[in-house]
Amino acid sequence: MKLLPFLIGILFAQSALADILVPVRTIRAKEVITADDLVFKNVESPGALSSPNEIIGQEARIALYASRPIHAGDIGPPALVDRNDLVKLIFRHGGLEITTEGRSLGRGAEGELIRVMNLSSRTTVTGRIRADGNIEVN
């Protein structure tokens, strides 16, 4: 009967190991991750990402070191707007559309809120980044 707990312990220890994706090199923050940057590794790491679809094409939010697991918070969609970029501000209300030029005060990806300085009035506004890199202000 003492053999049964031992065998159960071995089975559970093996089931904790999983194939996860790890970088083959150090990936700096703000770099977009490609398939050549990743390799599978069989280790125990709760919360580590294992699907290439979740990682490839994403941007590193922090430095990712070789052979270390990648977690969901370590990556995100690539930024479309960088700090100090000149961007188009768009305001829509009903049939009215007003556009002007602004300077981004931060960086972000599609759908994120970002602060932008309106270059005409020198006021700071907040808007949402669109897929084309323009900022929609409400």
Looking at residue 2, its pLDDT comes to 56
Identity of the amino acid at 40: F
Residues contacting 109, CB < 8 A, separation 6+: 59, 76, 77, 78, 79, 80, 129
User: Which DSSP symbol is given to 55?
Assistant: H
pTM listed for this prediction: 0.71
Extents of the domains making up the chain: 17-76, 86-137
Backbone angles phi, psi at 35, to 5 degrees: -65, -30
pLDDT single digits (tens) 2-57: 555 544 444 444 445 788 999 999 999 999 999 999 999 998 889 999 999 999 99
Residue 71 has pLDDT above 80, yes or no: yes
Task: Determine how β-strand 86-93 pairs with β-strand 96-104.
Answer: antiparallel
| Residue whose C-alpha is closest to residue 45's, from 6, 25, 74, 10 | 74
Query: What digits encode the pLDDT tens for the residues 74-99?
Result: 999 999 999 999 999 999 999 999 99
Domain 17-76, second-level architecture? Alpha-Beta Complex (3.90)
The predicted structure's pLDDT at residue 18: 80
Beta pairing partners, 7: none
What pLDDT was estimated at residue 16? 55
Does position 125 have pLDDT exceeding 80, yes or no? Answer: yes
The yes or no reply on domain 86-137 and CATH 3.30.70.20 is no
| pLDDT the model gives residue 17 | 72
Per the model's pLDDT, the better-predicted residue between 138 and 63 turns out to be 63
The reported pLDDT for the residue numbered 7 is: 45
